[in-house]
Chains A and B, each alone.
Chain A
Amino acid sequence: MPEGIELLYSIETTSLTKSFGDLVAVNDVSFSVQKGEIFGFLGPNGAGKSTTMMIFTTLLKPTSGKALIAGFDVMKDAKHVRENIGFVQQETTVDEYLTGRENLLLQAKLNHIPKNEINKRIDEVLELIELSDKQHQAVVTYSGGMRKRLDIAGGLLHHPKVLFLDEPTVGLDIQTRRKIWQYIKKIHIEFDMTIFLTTHYMEEADNLCDRIGIIDGGKIQVIDSPQNMKNALGNEIISLVVENNDNHDLFLAELNKIEFIKKINEEDLKLILFTSNGTEVIPKIFQISSDLGIKIVTLSLTQPTLDDVFISYTGHEIRDDKSKFNRKIEHAKMKRLRA
């Protein structure tokens, strides 16, 4: 890459596909992540998030398609990709027997940070993640959250252009999770890095990401900002449960005529209405139901969450084990391991 040309995209991928045998874990995925963005890959276990990340970090070779990270091709120029990325894995990988500082020193050496810079950089990240006072203790004495912070710090030391975070808060309690989010935001501002993260926590994606790609079954279902995604569903959601009635279909048809209702999802007698003007819609619903003699059991008005977005794009909840497909992939992976 010639010097001086400003890269617009930190990640660019076209028709990326990875199959294990006849199973397609990542299926014809194309998207770009802008420089400086926090981009989240959201999907259930086995959706293809980790496989995609392993391709981006040069740990796996794609079956076909192309991926450019910081302008370098993961297939042809893996070494340059590695020089420009930081990778924080899902499991904590810090060495328990070494002290916090020694772990960072190891990371600094692995990433070829110039000798005279090493100490300065370590002090800098230790301060950022607020572990300066614990730096000379063996990691074995650290809590889960502290280990994770140390791991993230290790990924930052060499000031990579793109930082990959694989499920950064999985297995952490909610306070610790929020704390980690704060650090990630701080890092993003202070180092001006592009951050690519995977998660299956809606709240995390909503909280951190400028844009989100929802991936399911190896395919990207939608990419947009969390706000746009929620807006597309209308700004309010009315959930109601009705009693069974012969006029049910008629009731639905009448509801569909209300102008503010954008979409109706139906699960047996539970109706979810995506709407833009809930407070005006509710009296209309009561009007229709009493005209048709339908009894409303419960009714609630909520703001849409990413969970709702996810369901509307994939047809199932993120925690659903919708997993004939997943299990097959896992099985294929296991078979490869044993072979």
Chain B
Amino acid sequence: MNSIMYDTYTIFWRELKRYKKSRSGVLIRLIQPAIWIIVVGNIFSETQPLIQSVGFEGEYIEFMAPGVIILTAIFTSIFGGVNTLWDRRYGFMNKALTSPISRSAIALGKMAAISLIAALQASLIIGIALAIGVTFPNPLMIIPIMGIVILFSLGFSGISVSLAATAKSQETFWGMINLLGMPLFMLSPALFPLELLPNWLAVIAKLNPVTYTVLLVRELMTGVSEGGVPIWISIAVLFGFVLAMVAVTSYVFTREVNKPF
């Protein structure tokens, strides 16, 4: 156990080192969520009555800001696994695979690094939100919110790492990512309240872990409980999701990297 922690940290360290050296990406990756919050947040500002009808008193932009924080986390973490493919192509993976570290530790180290990077990106988006006038009733809530973002990204990065380990080519990987990323974001209360979804869509949305994460962050940020989901259920779903993804990713990754690339 001790050694798997050490090995996970080794890979985590390496991923962050690489991230630090390619910092220009940070700003580029901020553009998309920034556009969402600035453009969409303002275009839909007239939808306030809709939001009010489900008991949310604030501005639309305040309603959707938690959604954009999670959007940042989703996309940073779902893209994050792509370097797994490069590692296999350029030999780092074989180097790691012929050393005594465990396969699971490689996957977990990558997930941990991606999750920290996603949290960093999300915190920048929180900064942008604050700058354009979104207010926090209780600024201390930023601590649990960051905790949730880290946990959620840890789980979500598992999807990315598993897909990258399974996909043999960049094309397959990006295809799968596009197939998953946007629908998971759209089928959540990130932009509009759960209550406004038609029933059949609401059922699908309730199977989506993104939904519970958005609800949690929204509740912490605005103090409004929305969607009729008790907070403990959201927390339980989030933890369940993370544990399941850690287990699934370890398994899938170990199985896939043992096959010839």
Contacts and interface: CB of A to CB of B under 8 A. Distances in A.
Interface of A: 54, 57-60, 79, 82-83, 85, 87, 89, 91-93, 95, 97-98, 102, 106-107, 109-112, 138, 154, 333, 336-338
A87 B100 contact: no
B98 A87 contact: yes
B98 A82 contact: yes
Contacts of A109: 6, 10, 13
Contact of A97 (B22, B90, B95): B22
Contacts of A79: 100
A336 B21 contact: no
B21 A97 contact: yes
Contacts of A57: 94, 98
Contacts of A91: 90-91
Contacts of B255: none
Nearest to B17: A98
B168 A338 contact: yes
Contacts of B98: 57-59, 82, 85, 87
30 contacts: A57-B94, A58-B97, A59-B260, A60-B260, A79-B100, A82-B98, A89-B91, A89-B95, A95-B17, A97-B17, A98-B18, A98-B21, A102-B17, A106-B13, A106-B17, A107-B99, A109-B10, A109-B13, A110-B7, A110-B99, A110-B101, A111-B99, A111-B100, A112-B3, A112-B100, A112-B101, A154-B95, A336-B260, A337-B168, A338-B168
Contacts of A58: 97-98
B233 interface: no
A338 B167 CA distance: 9
Interface in B150-170: 168
Which of A87, A154, A338 counts the most B-chain CB atoms under 10 A from its CB?
A87
B65 to A, nearest CB: 34
Given A79-B100, A85-B98, A87-B98, A337 B261 contact: yes
Interface residues of B, number: 24
Contacts of A138: 21
A95 B18 contact: yes
Contacts of A333: 260
Contacts of B99: 82, 107, 110-111
B92 interface: yes
B34 to A, nearest CB: 26
B14 A106 contact: yes
Contacts of B39: none
A337 B101 CA distance: 25
B96 interface: yes
Which of A59, A79, A83 counts the most B-chain CB atoms under 10 A from its CB?
A59
A102 B13 CA distance: 11
B87 to A, nearest CB: 9
**Ranked 6 nearest A-B pairs via Cβ:** A93-B91, A97-B21, A110-B99, A109-B10, A87-B98, A82-B100
Contacts of B94: 57, 59, 87, 89, 93
A89 B10 CA distance: 21
B54 to A, nearest CB: 48
Contacts of A107: 95, 99
A93 B3 contact: no
Given A60-B260, A82-B99, A93-B94, 16 more contacts: A54-B260, A57-B94, A58-B98, A59-B98, A82-B98, A85-B98, A87-B95, A89-B95, A91-B91, A93-B90, A97-B17, A107-B99, A111-B99, A112-B101, A154-B95, A333-B260
Contacts of B168: 337-338
Contacts of A59: 94, 97-98, 260
A97 B16 CA distance: 11
A185 B77 CA distance: 46
A60 B98 CA distance: 11
B14 A95 contact: yes
Nearest to B101: A110
B95 to A, nearest CB: 5
Contacts of A106: 10, 13-14, 17
Contacts of B260: 54, 59-60, 333, 336
B141 to A, nearest CB: 36
B221 to A, nearest CB: 36
A263 B99 CA distance: 48
Contacts of B14: 95, 106
A178 to B, nearest CB: 24
Contact of B96 (A97, A110, A337): A110
A154 B95 CA distance: 10
A322 to B, nearest CB: 24
Nearest to A140: B21
